[in-house]
Amino acid sequence: MDLLRSLLMPCALVLLGLAVAAGWYGRSLGAEVRLLQREGVEVQATITRKWEQVPSRSDGDGTERAGIPTYWLYLRFTDPGDGAEVEVRSAVARDAWEAAAVGERRGLLVVPGRPEVHSLFGVAGLGRAAGQLDRLATWMGFAALVCLALDFALRRRARRQS
């Protein structure tokens, strides 16, 4: 019982921190989706580079292991806001990365004057991701509250018994 009680508060704090982070990122992503829906303009972008980023991590025995790769496409286009030539990078799924070719032109939804706000595949997927992050944040927050309630009940019970 003491072990459970000693784990509940740290677990609640970790869950609460993760819930806040997921909620913040979900809201930020949702704001980008709304901005793209309201002000987004489709431009033609050229794929200038493909990059596979494979992080490495070291095990306790010094062995290097490959982590989960991230697939990036670098895209060049003319910003419809100020006419400047811009290059951005976009994380994509592996199958989209493999299907893409350097020099290929693709439609890119971008906010004029804010090229960092862009979407290669429209806003539907971004909207789903924002919603999933919000739901995840809600469930983690609920789990944190359950941990706090259990911790409170166990502490109260321990006080009564002593």
89-96 long-range Cβ contacts below 8 angstroms, 24+ apart: 89/51, 90/118, 90/119, 90/120, 92/120, 94/69, 96/71, 96/121
Say if residues 72 and 79 touch (Cβ distance below 8 Å): no
**pTM score over 0.75:** no
Residues 126-157: tens digit of each pLDDT: 777 888 889 999 999 999 999 999 999 988 88
Q: Is the pLDDT of residue 89 over 90?
A: yes
Residue 134 CA to residue 19 CA, distance in Å, equals 9
